[in-house]
Amino acid sequence: MASIGRFQKGEEIFHAKVVDGELYRLRGDVFGSPSFDKRPTPRKGLRTLVPVAPSKIVAVGLNYKDHVRETGKSLPKSPIIWFKATTSLIPDGAKIELPFPNHRNDYEAELAIVMGRRCRNVTAAAAARYILGYTSAQDITDRTIQAAEGQWARSKSFDTFTPLGPYIETKIDPHDLTLQLFQNGQLRQNGHTSEMTFNCFRIVSFVSTNITLLPGDVILTGTPSGIGRIQSGDRLEVRIQGMAPLVNAVK
């Protein structure tokens, strides 16, 4: 496998391999040993969905050193984690809706881990065997609520606050990727996954020692410096090296 997407036609939802823009429908379980059709599936009438339907979204905060510096906080000694509501997920092309447009609402481009197997108490050395792949994400945040409440779940869990996709990349080195965010065509974030304090394998190990991870679960791995405010009419694009861009407008 390489690029895997999730699509809908009518009432039917299915995964497919994406090769040079062509879709090859998956037969079997994406988390098992799937096979793929040899003939492409026509794209007409298809809708691109979020690439997985997770039981939970685990988010990691303050994981890029330059982002920690811009917030004025100290480097954490272990990953800071919280949950985001799965109802906050939207796919590539969907619109981000701001429930309180008078608040400060920020973009945060992130690399997301997609789990491929049930995972409990694994070491960092073994973590790669439990990961299906990686995709692009945003952790949209209502800063006004975050600052007022001192906890992060509500401020980051509004409907549409977790764009994810468009595809899962199964053959990629998560620790050697550029990570960029463009706002209306202007580069705002420009980081590299090597700058993480806790890399993807250490994050999976840490989370799995506390919480059982299931196939399809998503872990957001943090954002680099350059976070900024969004408003209605903005076009946000996450570009991670080797991945299709994740593009969402704001309303």
What is the overall mean pLDDT for the chain? 96
What is the end-to-end Cα distance of the chain in Å, rounded? 35
My answer on whether 9 and 90 are in the same domain is: no
Q: Locate 131 and state its tokens.
A: 């990961």
Residue ranges of alpha helices (H) inside 9-71 are: 65-71
pLDDT at 151: 87
Residue range(s) defining the domain that contains residue 62: 57-250
My answer on whether 10 and 129 are in the same domain is: no
pLDDT at 172: 96
My answer on whether 100 and 132 are in the same domain is: yes
My answer on whether 103 and 210 are in the same domain is: yes
Overall domain count for the chain: 2
**Residue 1: which pLDDT band, with cuts at 50, 70 and 90?**
low
Mean pLDDT over 41-57 rounds to: 96
- Predicted structure pTM score: 0.97
Looking up residue 39, the CATH number of its domain turns out to be 2.30.30
pLDDT tens for each residue of 114-152: 999 999 999 999 999 999 999 999 999 999 999 999 889
**Residue 182: which pLDDT band, with cuts at 50, 70 and 90?**
very high
